[in-house]
Structure 1
Amino acid sequence: MLWESIIIALEGLKANKMRSILTMLGIIIGVGAVIAMVSIGMGVQNKIQDSIAGLGSNLLIITPGATSPSGVRLAAGSNTTLTNKDAQAIGRQIEGVSAVAPSVSKQYQLVYGNKNWMTTVQGTTPEFVSVRNFNVELGRFFSNQEVETRMRVAVLGKTTADNLFGTIYPVGQTVRINSAPFVVVGVFEGKGQSAGGMDQDDVVVIPLTTAQERMMGISYIQTISVQAVSPESINQAQEDITSLLRSRHKLAKDMPDDFTVRNLAAVMATAEETTKTITLLLGNIAAISLLVGGIGIMNIMLVSVTERTREIGIRKALGATYRNILLQFLIEAIVIGVTGGLIGIGLGIAAAYAISAIAGWNTAISSGSILMAFGFSVAIGLFFGIYPARKAALLDPIDALRYE
């Protein structure tokens, strides 16, 4: 009986092709829209996660200046409150810290031959590579000895290297940074854009002491990047660093911090929560069209019941029970939902790939969204098919046979 009902339902769809297509259109669009919208939301979520993770794992960023409810408050001299000795103290005294990389940065023009390129020049220490998840593709990174002796060596980001050297092998070449000659000792692997749209490969890294004393003429630190031992220890490390710096800067209990410690793990958690909410919102908006499709199924099933009143009467006269008639019309409604859902899955996947290819957006198709959309389409067909099926099953056989 079940298989017969499925065959009858499919024959009914084939007999009224245009009506069947229009009925399924709401389900097709709904399922496709849910998959496409959720894939966009998950693509954004993955991009943000990758961008934040690309900055470094278990990362704490320490910057000078106190925070206030209205933002960063830069009091007199508060932008020079961090020193290299603070960074060294953090590395020595905080147990939950695996690496510390102090840094300073400034925009400079680089010149090689007849080419020039304006970029960010960052002075730091060898720990920078592990703390900030950079990998050297060509050559090497500079050593602690080169930091101590203020050597003029540089490691280029991929964008900077490509714009200055093109097809020329950059390692061993000499570039001028603000008119001072630097030997290129390495080139980083490409990292792409950050969450804020900044090109992480448009950078030049030089020894910290070289940047401070030979380039900028400063003795303070602009940023200290700290890598915690594990995700579990990052909050404790943040508290210990805050206590240590307050003690080193001789701040009384009633005085605010003259520095800011940002926990990127907390930033990532907040970003994940936000993008999940956005993905859920997009999915719910798209799911509205599924409800519209369900109403279309109910409408066409009611029309089908009216058209087939005599057929129902004949079936009942030949012995069909309430359950047989109910099952037949329910299966027809479910077949519409299943067929529309399968077509919608194909449309949604194609739309996600098209959006990624044409608009350049990150999309991530998940099996969970496909199963959810398909299950919802089947449930919609079942829910909105119950009333017409029940109406057909309750028809009096004598009245149905008299129906014209």
Structure 2
Amino acid sequence: MNLIENIKEALRSVKSNLLRTVLTGLIIAIGITSLVGMLTAIDGMKAQIEESFSGFGANNFDVKSKNLQGRQVTTDGVTQKTYPPISYREAMSFKDEYQSRGTLTVFTSFTGAAEIKQGSKKTNPNSRILGGDANYFMIKGVKIDKGRNFSHAEVEFGNNVCIVGTEIVNVLFDKNEDPLNQYISFYGNRYTIIGIMEEQGSSMGGSGADRMVVIPLENAKRLDRRGTFRYTITASGADPGKLEYEMGHATGIMRKVRQDRIGDEDSFEITQSQSLGESLEEVAGFLRIGGFGIGFITLLGAAIGLMNIMMVSVTERTREIGIRKALGATPLRIRQQFLIEAIVICLIGGILGVILGIGIGNIVANLVGPGGFLIPWLWMIVSFVICIIVGLLSGFFPAYKASKLDPIESLRYE
């Protein structure tokens, strides 16, 4: 009996015990479903978050305050030097010098716990107030769904106008009421709504764009009566391939504006917006490890169940094994037959598990946020490799036991 005939015989044996094969395959399918499903869901959610971050652009970088005064940071027992925050004057001076090289926006987020009022209605005290310019929405990838952006005159003179998030609109206005050109108030000032941002969704319960109110930067400056607001600059270089050069040039401009002495470290920090994607990949990596660990434990239980079924199969087919040995089958061929059966059962379960895992994973990912259908080719290949390994490990001991049976005793087995 050669290998090809042995494979055919193993497949006939699987077919003749179809119910047992299906039930055993379901054990493997559950393990593969949990593995592929979790990893697909993680990749799907990561892809959706990356898409939401795509508006930032790969050629954006932030210039912001560093080690602010009043916040003592200690590293290895050494207290780091603190620096004053970037002021409005410094931010605008940087803007005047850099804007000839690329687009940038200056903004300040001065509270995340404001209460917005409209008539007798008011929001919870968890709204975020941000001062920005007309470039803020373009560079930050926030779309204005209704209404318009700030005009040049509104930015220059700091008019009492605002662009609000959808959650604020839903709380303060009725469904059939148009919020555009209506008034809202906070901090004792009344503002006219000129635009509504596209719904973004909030992450981890935080105040996202849906709970945000954006007012002109000059208007926000007037609210800074104590001079404590922190201003951040997000710049977009003209050429993504020269981002490091652009960041170096921005460093030189800001050091000049901040009057940092030669030899002293920067009194500010410049970070590449792409680092958000890198941080996301790191978090997704930890989630994959956790998902793989849970799936591995499930597959371990499935492998033990498969080994038990194969042991029962060897016992039931003792007489058949004796006949094969009497006809000249070697222990190697007997082992091959049972190993092939175990691998076939695993692959059947693996195919079903991959299909279910992809479906469940995409459903979970789309429940978190609307997105496309993801086919995880890498995890499909990994799952089939795992199926073969599980089949070999689970089938080895039963196959070894079958190959060692005495043919005479096997023929007398009832």
Q: Same fold by TM (over 0.5)?
A: yes
Paired residues of 1:66 and 1:260 also in contact (CA < 8 A):
no
Residue 91 of structure 1, aligned match among 71, 95, 99 = 99
Provide the residue aligned with 2:129 in structure 1.
121
What is the rounded CA distance, in whole Å, between the counterparts of 1:398 and 1:245 in structure 2?
A: 91
Residue 42 in structure 1 maps to residue 35 in structure 2 = no
Paired residues of 2:165 and 2:212 also in contact (CA < 8 A):
yes
Deviation at residue 311 of structure 1 after TM alignment: 1.4
**Shift in alpha-carbon separation, 1:361–1:211, aligned structure 2, 3 A:** closer
Deviation at residue 133 of structure 1 after TM alignment: 0.6
Provide the residue aligned with 1:380 in structure 2.
390
**Shift in alpha-carbon separation, 1:102–1:392, aligned structure 2, 3 A:** same
Deviation at residue 315 of structure 1 after TM alignment: 2.9
Paired residues of 2:44 and 2:365 also in contact (CA < 8 A):
no
Please give the TM-score of this superposition, normalised by the length of structure 1. 0.82
Report the secondary structure of 1:83's partner residue: helix
Provide the residue aligned with 2:291 in structure 1.
282
What is the rounded CA distance, in whole Å, between the counterparts of 1:103 and 1:74 in structure 2?
A: 25
Q: Which amino acid aligns with 1:155?
A: I
Residue 131 in structure 1 maps to residue 142 in structure 2 = no
Q: CA RMSD in A?
A: 3.5
Deviation at residue 132 of structure 1 after TM alignment: 0.7
Provide the residue aligned with 1:7 in structure 2.
12
Please give the TM-score of this superposition, normalised by the length of structure 2. 0.80
Once structures 1 and 2 are overlaid, which stretch shifts more, 45-54 or 121-130? 45-54
What is the rounded CA distance, in whole Å, between the counterparts of 1:76 and 1:59 in structure 2?
A: 24
What is the rounded CA distance, in whole Å, between the counterparts of 1:83 and 1:329 in structure 2?
A: 74
**Shift in alpha-carbon separation, 1:111–1:301, aligned structure 2, 3 A:** closer
Q: Which amino acid aligns with 2:64?
A: T
Once structures 1 and 2 are overlaid, which stretch shifts more, 336-345 or 242-251? 336-345
Provide the residue aligned with 2:221 in structure 1.
212
Report the secondary structure of 2:116's partner residue: strand
What is the rounded CA distance, in whole Å, between the counterparts of 2:226 and 2:151 in structure 1?
A: 21
**Shift in alpha-carbon separation, 1:346–1:221, aligned structure 2, 3 A:** closer
What is the rounded CA distance, in whole Å, between the counterparts of 2:83 and 2:335 in structure 1?
A: 81
What is the rounded CA distance, in whole Å, between the counterparts of 1:401 and 1:361 in structure 2?
A: 63
Provide the residue aligned with 2:314 in structure 1.
305
Identity of aligned residues (%): 29
Deviation at residue 102 of structure 1 after TM alignment: 0.6
Report the secondary structure of 1:262's partner residue: strand
Deviation at residue 188 of structure 1 after TM alignment: 1.3
Mind listing any 5+ residue stretches in structure 2 that lack a counterpart? none
Deviation at residue 26 of structure 1 after TM alignment: 4.5
Report the secondary structure of 1:102's partner residue: strand
**Shift in alpha-carbon separation, 1:271–1:321, aligned structure 2, 3 A:** same
Provide Cα deviations, 1:269-294, integer angstroms capped at 9, x if missing partner. 13313322430342134223323433
**Shift in alpha-carbon separation, 1:349–1:105, aligned structure 2, 3 A:** closer
Paired residues of 1:57 and 1:133 also in contact (CA < 8 A):
no
Provide the residue aligned with 2:179 in structure 1.
170
What is the rounded CA distance, in whole Å, between the counterparts of 1:245 and 1:178 in structure 2?
A: 32
Paired residues of 1:41 and 1:276 also in contact (CA < 8 A):
no
What is the rounded CA distance, in whole Å, between the counterparts of 1:74 and 1:165 in structure 2?
A: 48
Deviation at residue 341 of structure 1 after TM alignment: 2.4
Paired residues of 2:48 and 2:369 also in contact (CA < 8 A):
no
Paired residues of 1:120 and 1:202 also in contact (CA < 8 A):
yes
